[in-house]
Structure 1
Amino acid sequence: MSVGGTVSVRSSLLAILTMGPAYGFQLHGELQSRTASRRNVNVGQIYGTLDRLVRQGAVESAGTTEDALPLYRLTGDGRDEAQAWLHSTESAPGEEWSDLVNRVLIASSLPAVDALAVVAAYRERWRAAVGDEPRSGQERLAALADHSLASAALAWLVEAEAALAADPDSFARDFSAERPRRGRRPAAAAA
């Protein structure tokens, strides 16, 4: 079992594509490296997600690489969705910790994103959770669990903020210069 929990492949790909066009296998490697290998995503899931993003109008073709791999780029709607995700602190119930860590990891890796602002927004969100009043019975136990998680999240965010502020140039980076050789060929080339 992965300690990283789920990662929104859709949102993560859109966020990574804010840097410019990329091909599927490249995005697979970028997602893995930008989340510090906390979660392995099947490359087929990357291509399936890209296909859905194209159908939904968030991503479009950007031509092909020199060796005929299809490139993808954001549309205006895709860019808006990526920005909204990067600056949101909303998560599905039970996914709050994984979403926090994965979103901060990805945001800190993107050159055009203010990762400290992402951390600050999360600190406000988790501070509100610490202030919840315990109840009785199972609700009290659940509130205590939420309080403990919020305290842990705040402690990690303080450390993350200090690391980002101390050496901001060691986090944000462009696409990897190492080019994965595999990838999906255009349909015409496969025939």
Structure 2
Amino acid sequence: MSIRHSLLALLQESPMYGYQLRGAFEERTGSTWPLNIGQVYTTLDRLERDGFAAKDGDDGEGHVIYSITQAGRNEVDQWFQKPVVSSNPPRNELAIKLALALTLDGVDVESIVQAQRAASMRTLQTYTRQRRAAVNPDERDSQDVAWILVLDSLIFTTEAEVRWLDHCEGWMRKHGGHITSASAAGAPARQKSALSNAEHEVTR
């Protein structure tokens, strides 16, 4: 996640100090990716160093105000225009955990998959409830729409994780034995229902 570009984009609206920037960022993304205030000010110092932002006095209460420079505006324009390319995939703790579990003796990989699926389904249901609550056709502004799109992204990502876990389970059944627990037997039906509900919410 590009914190520097996010802060610069917010500074395009108006000059702000660190706590205001953190609040604006978290408000527009539903606090999904909370920022450490130290990280915000460190990033602002680097933006000033690189000529993308400049100190613009203070608010009279000791808060240093930052404003965006023309170079900063150009940087934000380029950021919005360029597609996000994941040349180096971020570390996926779940994928790493399963990869290691499959290569070590004495690790119950099937139980790991089942536990993770249950947790992922709970997360999916939470995101779905949040999206349902966020949809208010009578009172909707640009920040509400932004939060709904963030939730849609989280829902799609979690759905993909659940489907990947199903793939892992199927692969293990084919190559490394069979799952016999009662909880695993009932999981597909519960999962299908929850995924269907989530997809219905996203298409509303």
TM-score, normalised by the number of residues in structure 2: 0.43
Structure number with higher helix proportion = 2
TM-score, normalised by the number of residues in structure 1: 0.46
